């Protein structure tokens, strides 16, 4: 992916990424047992996000990756632990994939 993400928010405002996509891998806890979150990727770039998720999953010993779903994610803290909250107002666009 050569250009940075541009995605319209549900409220009509435009999100313009200043950084390239990033991948967050969770092996337990939030929000499911095991998942991969690909951030700063538009809704149209689902296949690119899935490829990134499959690569990250393989590195972490997982082989099955679901079809994923698009959302808006913001890093926050809950109970003194890192947490990714769904936030369509100030979150970054991204794809969430369950992995096994």
The more confident residue out of 17 and 28 is 17
Reading across the β-sheet that carries 22-26, which strands appear in turn? 22-26, 35-39, 92-98, 69-78, 81-86
Residues with Cβ within 8 Å of 36's Cβ and at least 6 positions away in sequence, in order, are 23, 24, 25, 26, 52, 53, 56, 57, 65, 96, 97, 99
Residue 1 is assigned to a structural domain of this protein: no
Residue 46 is assigned to a structural domain of this protein: yes
Domain count, the chain: 1
Q: Which domain holds residue 61?
A: 6-98
Residue 58 is assigned to a structural domain of this protein: yes
Beta pairing partners, 76: 83
Residue 33 is assigned to a structural domain of this protein: yes
Distance between CA 5 and CA 28 in Å, rounded? Answer: 28
**Tokens matching residue 98:** 């369950």
pLDDT class of 11 with cuts at 50, 70, 90: very high
Per residue in 52-93, pLDDT tens?
999 999 998 888 899 999 999 998 888 887 778 899 999 999
At 2 the pLDDT is 66
pTM of the model: 0.87
């Amino acid at each position: 992916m050569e250009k940075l993400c541009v995605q319209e928010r549900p409220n009509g405002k435009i999100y313009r990424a200043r950084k390239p996509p990033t991948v967050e891998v969770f092996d337990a806890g939030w929000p499911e047992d095991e998942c991969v979150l690909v951030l700063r990727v538009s809704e149209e770039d689902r296949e690119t996000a899935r490829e990134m998720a499959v690569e990250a999953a393989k590195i972490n010993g997982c082989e099955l990756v679901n079809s994923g779903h698009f959302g808006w994610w913001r890093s926050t803290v809950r109970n003194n632990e890192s947490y990714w909250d769904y936030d369509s107002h100030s979150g970054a666009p991204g794809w969430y994939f369950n992995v096994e």
